[in-house]
Amino acid sequence: MPRPRTPLLSTERIAEAAMELVDEGEPFGVNAIARRLGVTPSSLYNHVAGRDEIVELMRGRLGEQYLPPAIEGTWDVVVEEMLRAERRMYAEHPFLIPLIVGKTITDPTVIASYDLLATALSGAGFPDDDVLEIVAILDAFSIGFGLDLASPDEIWRPETPTTTLGRLVESSPRGAPRSDRAFEAGLEMLLDGLRLRLARTELD
């Protein structure tokens, strides 16, 4: 069945199938996507350059869904809203995180949201030299807590005796609730820290 009159594939259909795979926690790959679409792996190469481009397609797709194109309010509201949006995104699609980690970001929607953040920080009075550094901090924060969500329920498996860790691992909440509490506490620290930093900057 070569060259159907109406195309079987498109970047959208490929991205959609890829996201389904990722959300179900299935192993992600070109072959698996092709299987899900009832098509041969080589067919995909008529629409995308390869595996990496499919990952970037997913990043963009989620960016459109979750990241606000504009935010009203002071710089700290922008930071908070953006981090909460990323948090929701990662919480609802945790398995995407290991795939996008360490890949150059090119998707326009996602670039635009980093730009929004950088513009807000710059406008608030953070020196140019500090802005990208702060964006890096925010990113580390976001990715770090995102990975916390993607982690196995059992992060530590002590096989030797411990004085504190073992006891806590037994008794403490696991999974999403613990991670959410940690995120909230971390977010508060981060915002306080940034406000303090801006106040110090303004003293100069």
Question: Which among DNA, a copy of itself, none contacts residue 11 (Cβ within 5 to 8 A by kind)?
Answer: none
How many other CB atoms are found less than 10 A from the CB of residue 151? 13
Read off the tokens for 198.
């801006």
Whether the CA torsion 60, 54, 89, 76 is positive or negative: it is negative
Q: Decide if residue 148 touches a copy of itself (CB under 8 A).
A: yes
8, 140, 165, 168: residue in contact with DNA (rule CB under 7 A): 8
Q: Is 71 in the site for a copy of itself (CB under 8 A)?
A: no
Structure tokens at 77: 């509201």
Question: Is the distance from CB of 67 to CB of 85 less than 8 angstroms?
Answer: yes
Nearest by Cα to 48 from 22, 10, 17, 19:
10
Q: Are 76 and 25 in contact, with CB atoms under 8 Å apart?
A: no
Of 15, 19, 28, 85, the one binding DNA (CB under 7 A) is 28
Nearer to a copy of itself, 66 or 145 (CB): 145
Do residues 76 and 42 make contact, with C-beta atoms less than 8 angstroms apart?
Answer: no
Q: Does 46 bind DNA (CB under 7 A)?
A: yes
The yes or no reply on residue 8 touching a copy of itself (CB under 8 A) is no
Contact set with a copy of itself (CB under 8 A) = 98, 101-106, 108, 111-112, 114-115, 118-119, 122, 128-129, 131-134, 136-137, 139-145, 147-148, 150-152, 154-160, 162-166, 168-169, 171-172, 178-179, 181-182, 185-186, 188-190, 192-194, 196-197
